[in-house]
C-alpha cells in the first residue's frame, strides 16, 4: 500500500512539474489575457518592427503593449487602434529612418517613431524614451482625438511631437529636446492641454502653434531653444498660456497670430538673449515678449482682445516687451519688470505697460513680500521669480509664488527691521515689522514702511507712520520722505505707465486707444472654434485583414496534461483487476 501511495505521489509531482513548465513557457510569450475584453502584450526586443506592427493591427481597442527591454531599434509603428503603449523601465526606442509599407499604404511620406491615426482616438503613449535622430518626427498625432502623450523622453527628430487636426490632445510631463525644428508643433487643433513639459535645445521653438483653439499651455519649462520659447502663428482663439517659464531663448514668447480671447498671464519670460544669427535679425532677439508683423487682435475695450498681464518680464538682453514697428501701439496689462522706477522698465516705445509694484506684508516671525497691481490691489495670479533679501546682515532668497513670497527668518514678533530687497540689481530699503505671535500668518501689516511705490533706482526709503490698510496698501503720514503710499505711487499720471527703454515717456492719458487692430481678426469661423480640414497628410485606406491571430493555448495544454495524469492514476488503481 505504501508503495502504491509513493507511485501515485510521484505521478502527481511529474504532473505539477509539467504544468509549471507550460506556465513558465507561456509567461515569455507576447500576450497575457487581462479581464474578459483586453489583452496585455509584452514586446521583446528580438521582435522585428513588422512583427510588432502585425500585433498592433490584430489587437483590439483597449489592449496594452508593454516595452520593457532596454533597447529597441529601427522602430516605426502606425497606431491604428485605441492602444495603451507603455514602458515601466523607460525603454529606449530608436526610430527608423525609412518609411514602412504600412505607412506607405496610408499615404504617409515622412519617417517617424509612432504615428497615431484617426482610428487610434483615446490612445496613450507613456514612459518611453524615443530617439528620433534619423526620423522626421518622434511622434505624430494625426486626427487621433483625446489621445495622451505623457512621461516620455523624446530626443531629436524634425519635430519632437507633431499634433494636427486633433481635438482634446494631452501632452504632459515629457522631456523634449534636440529636435531639428520644434519640440512640440501643434496645428489645426483645439482643446489641447500642453502642461509640465521641459522643452530645451531645439533648433526652432520649444512650442510652436498654428491655428489652435481653446487650448491650455501651462507650467512648461522652456529654455535654450534657437528661435523662441513659444511661437504663435496664424489664428489663435480662446487659448490660455499661463505659468510657463521661458529663459535663455532668443525670445520668451513670439506672438505673430490673429489673437482673439487669448490670455498670456502669470508667465516668467526672463533672461532671454540676443542672437546675432537670429533669423528675424539680431535686433528682434533678446526679448521677453515680441509681437510679430502679422499680430492682430481686437480693439481696445473689446473683451475678446488679447490679455497680457501679471507676467515676469525681466533680465532680457533686448526689451522686456517689444512691439513690431509696423504695428500700432499696444497696451499691455500690469506686469513686473524688476524695476523700482518707470525709467528702467525697458519696454519698447510702441507699448504701454502697466508697471506692478512690490511691497511688504507682515508674516509671523518672518518676512513677507507681496506683488501689487497698478491699483494697489494684491495680486494672486503671478509668474515666479527669486530675489535676494537682507535683514540684520543675513541674506535670504525670496521665491514668489502666486504673487507672494514668505521667508521663515525666525524674527522676533512685533519688532521693526530694516530690509534690503534686490530689485533691478540694486538694494531697495524697507522698514518692516513682523506680525505678532497671535496673528495669522500672512496677515497684512498696518505698519509697512516702504519706498514710494518702489520708485527710485537709488533705493532710498521713505518712512510712513501707522495708518489704515486699504486693499493691501498702507497709507499714512509721511516722515522724512515724500511718499503717500506704502506700495505704489498715488500719482496715477506718473506710476501706471512708465518710460520705455529709449527714455521716451509713455502717455497714460491715451488709455490705449491708439492700439487698434491691424486688420480684421474676426474674419472666418475661428471664433466658433471650428478647425480647418485642410492639410491632412493622407486618407486612410482600410488595412487588409490578417488571418493568423495571436492565441493563448496554455489552458488547453494544461487541461490535456491533467486528463492524461488522471487516466494514469485511474489505470494504476485498476491494475490488480487486470493482473
Angle formed by the axes of helices 2-27 and 554-573, to 10°?
170
Residues 6 or more apart whose CB falls under 8 angstroms from that of 491 comprise none
Q: For the chain, 579 residues long, give each residue's pLDDT as a single digit of tens.
A: 555 555 555 555 555 554 444 444 444 444 444 444 789 999 999 999 999 999 999 999 999 999 999 999 999 999 999 999 999 988 999 999 999 999 999 999 999 999 999 999 999 999 999 999 999 999 999 999 999 999 999 999 999 999 999 999 999 999 999 999 999 999 999 999 999 999 999 999 999 999 999 999 999 999 999 999 999 999 999 999 999 999 999 999 999 999 999 999 999 999 999 999 999 999 999 999 999 999 999 999 999 999 999 999 999 999 999 999 999 999 999 999 998 777 778 999 999 999 999 999 888 888 999 999 999 999 999 999 999 999 988 999 999 999 999 998 888 888 888 899 999 888 999 888 887 654 444 334 322 333 333 322 222 233 332 223 223 333 222 222 222 222 222 233 323 333 334 333 333 333 333 333 333 333 333 333 333 333 333 322 233 232 233 334 445 444 555 555 665 555 555 555 544
Whole-angstrom Cα distance, residue 208 to residue 162?
A: 10
Reduce the secondary structure of 129-169 to three states and give it as a string.
Answer: EEECCCCCEEEEEECCCCCEEECCEEECCCEEEEEECCECC
For the whole model, what pTM was predicted?
0.75
- Which of 293, 276, 289 lies closest to 346 in space, CA to CA? 289
| Residue located via cell numbers 540676443 | 274
Helix/strand/coil for 242: strand
Question: 404 with 395: CB under 8 angstroms?
Answer: no
Output phi, psi for 557, to 5 deg: -65, -45
Helix/strand/coil for 6: helix
pLDDT at 72: 98
Buried b (16+ CB within 10 A) or exposed e, 489-521: beeeeebbbbbbbeeeebebeeebeebebbeeb
Buried b (16+ CB within 10 A) or exposed e, 76-102: bbbbbbbbbbbbeeebbbbbbeebbeb
Buried b (16+ CB within 10 A) or exposed e, 389-399: bebeeeebebe
pLDDT at 411: 87
pLDDT at 525: 34
Question: 453 with 462: CB under 8 angstroms?
Answer: no
**Dihedral angle at the C-alpha atoms of 242, 246, 250, 251, nearest 10 degrees?**
20
Output phi, psi for 188, to 5 deg: 50, 50
pLDDT at 522: 35
Amino acid at each position: 500500500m505504501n508503495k502504491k501511495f509513493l507511485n501515485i505521489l510521484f505521478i502527481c509531482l511529474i504532473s505539477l512539474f509539467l504544468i509549471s513548465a507550460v506556465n513558465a513557457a507561456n509567461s515569455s510569450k507576447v500576450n497575457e489575457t487581462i479581464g474578459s475584453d483586453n489583452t496585455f502584450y509584452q514586446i521583446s526586443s528580438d521582435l522585428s518592427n513588422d512583427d510588432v506592427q502585425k500585433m498592433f493591427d490584430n489587437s483590439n481597442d483597449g489592449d496594452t503593449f508593454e516595452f520593457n527591454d532596454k533597447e529597441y531599434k529601427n522602430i516605426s509603428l502606425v497606431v491604428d487602434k485605441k492602444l495603451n503603449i507603455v514602458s515601466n523601465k523607460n525603454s529606449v526606442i530608436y526610430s527608423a529612418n525609412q518609411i514602412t509599407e504600412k505607412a506607405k499604404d496610408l499615404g504617409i511620406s515622412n519617417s517617424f517613431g509612432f504615428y497615431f491615426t484617426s482610428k487610434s482616438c483615446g490612445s496613450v503613449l507613456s514612459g518611453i524614451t524615443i530617439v528620433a535622430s534619423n526620423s522626421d518626427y518622434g511622434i505624430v498625432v494625426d486626427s487621433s482625438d483625446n489621445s495622451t502623450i505623457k512621461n516620455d523622453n523624446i530626443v531629436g527628430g524634425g519635430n519632437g511631437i507633431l499634433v494636427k487636426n486633433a481635438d482634446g490632445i494631452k501632452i504632459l510631463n515629457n522631456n523634449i529636446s534636440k529636435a531639428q525644428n520644434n519640440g512640440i508643433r501643434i496645428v489645426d487643433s483645439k482643446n489641447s492641454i500642453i502642461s509640465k513639459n521641459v522643452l530645451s535645445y531645439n533648433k526652432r521653438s520649444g512650442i510652436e502653434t498654428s491655428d489652435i483653439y481653446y487650448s491650455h499651455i501651462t507650467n512648461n519649462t522652456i529654455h535654450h531653444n534657437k528661435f523662441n520659447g513659444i511661437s504663435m502663428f496664424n489664428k489663435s482663439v480662446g487659448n490660455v498660456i499661463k505659468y510657463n517659464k521661458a529663459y535663455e531663448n532668443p525670445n520668451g514668447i513670439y506672438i505673430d497670430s490673429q489673437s482673439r480671447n487669448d490670455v498670456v498671464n502669470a508667465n516668467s519670460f526672463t533672461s532671454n538673449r540676443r542672437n546675432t544669427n537670429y533669423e528675424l535679425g539680431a535686433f528682434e532677439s533678446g526679448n521677453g515678449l515680441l509681437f510679430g508683423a502679422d499680430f492682430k487682435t481686437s480693439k481696445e475695450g473689446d473683451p475678446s482682445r488679447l490679455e497680457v498681464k501679471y507676467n515676469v518680464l525681466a533680465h532680457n538682453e533686448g526689451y522686456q516687451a517689444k512691439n513690431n514697428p509696423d504695428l500700432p501701439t499696444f497696451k499691455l496689462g500690469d506686469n513686473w519688470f524688476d524695476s523700482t522706477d518707470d525709467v528702467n522698465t525697458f519696454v519698447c516705445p510702441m507699448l504701454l505697460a502697466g508697471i506692478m509694484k512690490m511691497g511688504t506684508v507682515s508674516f509671523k516671525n518672518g518676512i513677507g513680500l507681496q506683488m501689487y497691481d497698478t491699483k494697489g490691489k494684491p495680486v494672486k495670479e503671478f509668474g515666479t521669480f527669486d530675489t535676494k533679501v537682507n535683514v540684520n546682515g543675513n541674506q535670504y532668497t525670496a521665491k514668489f509664488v502666486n504673487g507672494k513670497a514668505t521667508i521663515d527668518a525666525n524674527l522676533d514678533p512685533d519688532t521693526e527691521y530694516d530690509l534690503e530687497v534686490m530689485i533691478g540689481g540694486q538694494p531697495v530699503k524697507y522698514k518692516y515689522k513682523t506680525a505678532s505671535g497671535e496673528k495669522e500668518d500672512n496677515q497684512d501689516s498696518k505698519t509697512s514702511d516702504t519706498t514710494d511705490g518702489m520708485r527710485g533706482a537709488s533705493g532710498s526709503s521713505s518712512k510712513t507712520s501707522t495708518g489704515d490698510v486699504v486693499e493691501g496698501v498702507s497709507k499714512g503720514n509721511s516722515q522724512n520722505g515724500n511718499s503717500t503710499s506704502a506700495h505704489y505711487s498715488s500719482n496715477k499720471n506718473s506710476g501706471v505707465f512708465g518710460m520705455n527703454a529709449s527714455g521716451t515717456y509713455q502717455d497714460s492719458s491715451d488709455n490705449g486707444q491708439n492700439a487698434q487692430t491691424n486688420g480684421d481678426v474676426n474674419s472666418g469661423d475661428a471664433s466658433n472654434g471650428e478647425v480647418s480640414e485642410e492639410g491632412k497628410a493622407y486618407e486612410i485606406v482600410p488595412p487588409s485583414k490578417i488571418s493568423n491571430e495571436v492565441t493563448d493555448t496554455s489552458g488547453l495544454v494544461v487541461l490535456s496534461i491533467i486528463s492524461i495524469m488522471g487516466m494514469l492514476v485511474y489505470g494504476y488503481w485498476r491494475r490488480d483487476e487486470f493482473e
